[in-house]
Amino acid sequence: MISTFYRLFIINWTLARYGLDEIILSLHLFRPLRFLVWLNPYNWFRSQRLSRAERIRLCIEDLGPIFIKFGQLLATRRDLLPDELIDELEKLLDRVPPFPVEQARAIIETELGLPLEQAFLSFDNEVLASASIAQVHPAVLKDGREVVVKIVRPGIEKVIRKDMDVLLMLARLADRYWEEAPRVKPVKVVQEFEKTLFNELDLVREAANASELRRHFVDSEDLYVPEIHWDYCKKSILVIERIYGIPVTDLEQLRAHGINLEVLSRKGVEVFFSQVYDFNFFHADMHPGNIFVSPDNPDNPSYIAVDFGIMGTLSKSDQRYLAENFVAFFNRDYRRVAELHVDSGWVDRDTRIDDFEQAIRAVCEPMFQRPLAEISFGQLLLRLFETARDFNMEIQPQLLLLQKTLLHIEGLGRQLYPQLDLWDTAKPFLERWLSRQMGVRALGEGIRDNLPFLAEHLPDLPRLAFRALDKLANDRLEIEWKSKQLDDIRREIRRANRRSIKAIVGGSLLVSASLIAGLDGIAPTMIGSGLFFTPLVSALLAVPGLWLLYSLLND
């Protein structure tokens, strides 16, 4: 509890130190307090006046990995934010201040259990890239192969844990007091984010992700995934083939090498949908710092991916509903979009389809009056979410990674080729996938996949059928019925009762503490009689009262 409130204080202090208290005080709620900006000493004595964009970037760096991750996401949205801010945020992609090389060398030797000279032919102290979770150094293996060594930042887990405690506390408060909480599910969203972040700290998991993605694209001309060197991979270090490519956002170099930017932007969309629908395993952190371009074939360029800490998967039903939704949007079939939202459970079953269809049409139709190449899919999603909120659409945490990745892809594609027609590139791909899933071929593959199960259980079917019929004929057939919903209701009732008791007891203790504290100086202290010592008794009542009320946030 103390550390959480301390972290909140540090966040606000850091904002004030960089003169960003003006952002908070510009909110409608705090506008009457805007004069406090002039009372901030850091605004009096700042020797060098930095731009707001620079101050935002420096503040994010100081606040740590969670805030840096958020800044990295914003860095891809040049169509939404000013160029000056984007230029600064792009520095967060791979230019976060590195930690000392001595610490990096010590971590490698500890993880491998041998001196650095025995593990590598050479190890370079140069930092190739430094991000929020880890940094990368070049090295050469004993057999002469060039590699890079990725090392997790020391002590980063404790830093992330503190920030996650703050986010969880805020999410629980929102879950209790925010009217939109049932739809947005703030606690579940934060828990998904927490799981993703801590998965990034395990580099063995990242190595496995890279290995699988490499297997999927081993013969591809569109995406290259470097080779993992498993003998050197541990939880805090990863050794992977060194690649040479052009940063995807370095348009000057791409043009100098004659790279076909239109083909490159289209391939980015195709690679994304291929990962999602062909392999159901997609790179979910495709910001510019993780994507390079091979200059070997300018007319038919290929991407090179690095950093595989965040990968995403979808259930079969989510894959299908998403694909059908996309195609329905492309075809401007708004009724089908509404029906799919209801069928998938994203919107209440009792939603009137006609009303939902009209609301979707009102959002989408004005956008389709412009050329498709000018339509921002990210903006469309945001508008649709605002519309669906009126129909109690719940946020789907399992789709957050996909949504974020799609925003990255659109941002990158539009930077490379502003006329990128995302719809035209994706639509044929999705239609082919749907035809494979629902056609005769899909039926044949389903039968083939289930043949082992049928072969195993088919001989038992006559005996099972006879037993069931015998029990039915002799009135011995028992039907077991268990409702998960009823169990959930019982648990919620018990939880509510427990919370009510805590609230009553905690509030009573605080009231009692206040009353007793009020006696100090009015009633005699009576230390000698041993009846009570006013401040001590007041504190003894207040502390458990505060603890009980705070525990409500975690109950």
Pull the structure tokens for residue 23: 């952002």
Q: Rounded to whole angstroms, how far apart are CA atoms 310 and 137?
A: 21
How far is the C-alpha of 459 from the C-alpha of 457, rounded, in Å? 6
Contact (CB, 8 A) for 338 and 356: yes
Rounded-to-integer distance, Cα 142 and Cα 530, Å: 78
Retrieve residue 101's tokens: 């090389």
Average pLDDT over residues 256-280: 90
Which residue bears the tokens 């509030």? 507
- For residue 217, the model assigns a pLDDT of 94
Determine whether 63 is exposed, middle or buried from the number of CB atoms within 10 Å of its CB (0-12, 13-18, 19+): buried
* Residue where the block lists tokens 């057999």: 143
> Is the pLDDT score of 37 beyond 90?
no
CA distance 320 to 318: 5
Q: How many CA atoms lie within 13 A of 525 on its CB side?
A: 8
Residue 134's nearest CA partner among 44, 60, 197 is: 197
Residue 518, CA atoms < 13 Å, CB-side half-sphere: 6
Q: What is the pLDDT of residues 481-537, one digit of tens each?
A: 455 556 666 676 777 666 666 666 665 665 565 555 554 444 444 434 444 445 555
Q: Kindly report, residue by residue over 216-236, the tens digit of the pLDDT.
A: 999 899 999 999 999 999 999
Q: At residue 501, what is the residue type?
A: I
Contacts of 448 (CB under 8 A, 6+ apart): none
Contacts of 505 (CB under 8 A, 6+ apart): 545, 548
Per mean pLDDT, which range of 2-11, 404-413, 532-541 is the poorest?
532-541
Give the pLDDT confidence of 285-301 residue by residue, as tens digits.
877 778 999 999 999 99
Q: What is the pLDDT of residues 191-213, one digit of tens each?
A: 877 887 888 889 999 999 999 99
Q: What is the pTM of this model?
A: 0.68
Among the listed residues 49, 48, 73, 47, the one whose alpha carbon sits nearest the alpha carbon of residue 60:
73
For the annotated catalytic residues, the residue numbers are: 285
In the DSSP assignment, the letter for residue 289 is G
* 452-492 residue pLDDT tens: 766 666 677 677 776 777 666 665 555 544 555 566 666 76
Q: What is the pLDDT of residue 484?
A: 55
- Residue 73, pLDDT > 60, answer yes
